[in-house]
């Protein structure tokens, strides 16, 4: 089981977490100062950044190579925020959900309504689109492995099947999968929302409605639960794994009233 090492202050709903140039970037669903930047050692707030013309955030990822952060917005665009604070954006032409960066330093945007993964350059040039298999319904997040395959979690609130799948590099075939009918057993999920993959291709899964984070082997076999519901106040929505320090950052949100959420960042040693 992961050991809790720090909790950042609770505030407005957290919509993403990532790491860039020795700092933690935390995304909140507010009108201004949406991106909070923290020192990775002291966890002290360094500054806040505003993303102009933002509407409804879905995820955040970063690229050390290009020294920038990418933020998904449900108005069908991605915002690019560089370390100097300059912000640009590009159209996705579908509602983006999960974001990740692959080994080629390109941005992978998961689009659940059309069951696609779209790959963009750092400045928003569309490089390719992959349509996922028919039984991968409502894909939430995708990460590309070193072999070119994709780890994808899928299953929305009204879908009977909730799984994590390994999908071939061309997007056409499911190679391995874990999960099935929606549930709470160790081989089931209830809202697999976000993923993180370590250097050995073990997979961390934010199982949001079951309020836990699970660990899978590189072939998607169940290993153990790494964060339990007893260690969280609400639902884990977003993950970031610091592979060097073996620290797992978990964005945890809890509903105080209908439609009113509060969130914080929990840091676990794994």
Query: Cα-atom radius of gyration of the chain, to the nearest Å?
Result: 17
Q: Which residue has the tokens 């799948």?
A: 165
Count of CA atoms in the C-beta half-sphere (13 A) of 243: 9
According to the model, what pLDDT value does residue 81 have?
A: 94
**Rounded CA separation 270/155 (Å):** 26
Q: What percentage of the chain reaches a pLDDT higher than 90?
A: 90
**Rounded CA separation 58/14 (Å):** 10
Each residue of 161-178: pLDDT tens digit? 999 999 999 999 999 999
**What is the number of other CB atoms lying within 10 angstroms of the CB of residue 184?**
13
- Mean pLDDT to the nearest integer, 25-33: 92
**DSSP per residue over 19-31, as a string?**
EETTEEEEEESSS
- Mean pLDDT to the nearest integer, 217-242: 97
Q: What percentage of the chain reaches a pLDDT higher than 70?
A: 100
Q: Residue 84 above 90 pLDDT?
A: no
DSSP state of 8: P
DSSP state of 231: G
Nearest-CA neighbor of 9 among 31, 32, 28, 33? 28
According to the model, what pLDDT value does residue 157 have?
A: 85
Q: Residue 128 above 80 pLDDT?
A: yes
According to the model, what pLDDT value does residue 260 have?
A: 86
Each residue of 105-125: pLDDT tens digit? 999 999 999 999 999 999 999
- Mean pLDDT to the nearest integer, 227-240: 97
Each residue of 171-212: pLDDT tens digit? 999 999 999 999 999 999 999 999 999 999 999 999 999 999
According to the model, what pLDDT value does residue 103 have?
A: 96
pTM: 0.96
Q: What mean pLDDT is reported for the chain?
A: 95
- Mean pLDDT to the nearest integer, 34-50: 95
Nearest-CA neighbor of 1 among 203, 209, 230, 239? 230
**Rounded CA separation 154/162 (Å):** 6
According to the model, what pLDDT value does residue 130 have?
A: 97
**Rounded CA separation 160/182 (Å):** 6
Which residues, 6+ apart, have CB-to-CB distance to 51 below 8 Å?
A: 34, 35, 71, 79, 81, 87
Q: 3-264: what CATH class? A: mainly beta
Ranges of each domain in the chain: 3-264
**DSSP per residue over 97-150, as a string?**
--EEE-TTSPEEEEEGGGTEEEEE-TT--EEEEEEPPTT--SEEEEEE-TTS-E
Each residue of 57-82: pLDDT tens digit? 999 999 999 999 999 998 899 999 99
Strand order in the sheet with 45-49: 14-20, 23-28, 35-39, 45-49
Q: Which residue has the tokens 């977003």?
A: 238
């Amino acid at each position: 089981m992961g050991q809790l090492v720090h909790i950042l202050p609770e505030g407005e709903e957290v919509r993403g977490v990532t790491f860039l140039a020795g700092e933690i970037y935390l995304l909140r669903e507010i009108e201004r100062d949406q991106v909070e930047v923290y020192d990775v050692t002291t966890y002290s707030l360094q500054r806040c950044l505003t993303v102009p013309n933002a509407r409804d955030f879905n995820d955040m990822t970063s690229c050390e190579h290009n020294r920038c952060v990418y933020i998904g917005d449900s108005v069908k665009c991605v915002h690019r925020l560089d370390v100097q604070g300059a912000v640009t954006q590009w159209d996705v032409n579908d509602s983006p959900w999960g974001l990740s960066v692959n080994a080629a330093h390109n941005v992978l945007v998961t689009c659940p309504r059309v069951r696609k993964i779209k790959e963009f350059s750092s400045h928003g040039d569309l490089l390719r689109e992959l349509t996922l298999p028919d039984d991968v319904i409502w894909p939430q997040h995708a990460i590309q492995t070193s072999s070119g395959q994709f780890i994808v979690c899928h299953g929305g609130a009204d879908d009977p099947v909730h799984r994590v799948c390994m999908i071939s590099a061309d997007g056409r075939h499911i190679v391995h999968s874990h999960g099935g009918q929606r549930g709470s057993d160790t081989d089931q999920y209830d809202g697999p929302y976000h993923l993180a993959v370590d250097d050995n291709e073990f997979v961390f899964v934010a199982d949001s409605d079951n309020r836990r984070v699970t660990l899978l082997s590189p072939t998607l076999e169940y290993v153990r639960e790494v964060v339990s519901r007893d260690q969280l106040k609400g639902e884990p929505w977003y993950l970031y794994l610091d592979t060097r320090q073996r620290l797992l950052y978990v964005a945890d949100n809890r509903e105080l009233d209908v439609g009113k959420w509060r969130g914080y960042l929990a840091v676990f040693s794994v």
